[in-house]
């Protein structure tokens, strides 16, 4: 069974010849958010929808999202 490490700073540990990096959970969550943002911004569809919404907003149209609850 493996061991869990509790750390407040980033550590690099070698297991065999493979390095493993341990980071605090708070930092990892921030990294995940950045990765999600990067993935969204890489989507051409997302960018088109964002541009369309910005154009509608600039033209004075009301932009809203209708929520559907089941």
Residue 10 pLDDT: 75
CA dihedral 21, 30, 9, 6 (to 10 degrees): -80
Closest alpha carbon to 56 in 68, 48, 45: 48
CA distance 13 to 23: 11
Q: Are 24 and 11 in contact (CB under 8 A)?
A: no
CA distance 46 to 32: 19
For each of the chain's 70 residues, which pLDDT tens digit applies?
Answer: 456 556 667 777 788 888 888 888 899 999 999 999 899 888 899 889 888 888 888 888 765 666 665 5
User: Global pTM?
Assistant: 0.49
Q: Are 63 and 53 in contact (CB under 8 A)?
A: yes
């Amino acid at each position: 069974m493996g061991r869990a490490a509790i750390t407040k700073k980033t550590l690099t540990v070698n297991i065999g010849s493979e390095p493993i990096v341990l980071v605090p959970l708070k930092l990892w969550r921030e990294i995940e958010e950045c990765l999600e943002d990067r993935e969204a911004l890489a989507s051409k569809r997302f960018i088109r929808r964002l541009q369309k919404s910005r154009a509608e907003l600039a033209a004075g149209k009301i932009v809203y999202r209708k929520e559907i609850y089941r």
